[in-house]
Amino acid sequence: MASRNPERQRQWQSLLTKWHQSDQTIAAFCKQRNLGKPTFGYWQRKIGFGRRSKPRYPAAVFVPITLVTEAFVEMTLLGGMVLKVPLSASAEQIARWLTAARTAT
């Protein structure tokens, strides 16, 4: 069994890390450093550096949402209280909510 050259392995580990952190293709990286692509591929497999993968789509970003089952009107009362009233509310219901809001402030 052939003995390993730890210094050579460290050099390739460093090169592969630099490539992985760069935005270059393997071809461009190798050309810039006068490296052979087959040798690069050999060390990539030997050391265990997989292919650099970039997501095909941007990562999902979740934003808070509020689901509303019916339309409503939002009223800002004196004192900053906000009253959200469904459009289907009767005049009597609105009057009761306004009375309750007045007593709460």
In a domain, 14, yes or no: yes
State residue 81's pLDDT score: 81
**43 in the same domain as 10:** yes
In a domain, 89, yes or no: yes
In a domain, 55, yes or no: no
State residue 1's pLDDT score: 37
State residue 31's pLDDT score: 93
Question: Where is 84: in which H helix or E strand?
Answer: strand 82-86
Phi, psi of 74 (to 5 degrees): -105, 125
Q: How far is CA 34 from CA 29, 48, 100, in A?
A: 9, 22, 79
State residue 51's pLDDT score: 63
**Which DSSP category does 60 fall into?**
P
**Number of domains composing the chain:** 2
In a domain, 59, yes or no: no
State residue 5's pLDDT score: 80
What 3-state class would DSSP assign to 85? Answer: strand
In the chain (105 residues long), the average pLDDT of successive 10-residue segments reads: 71 88 88 92 82 56 74 82 85 85 73
What domain range is 30 assigned to? 6-47
pTM beyond 0.85: the answer is no
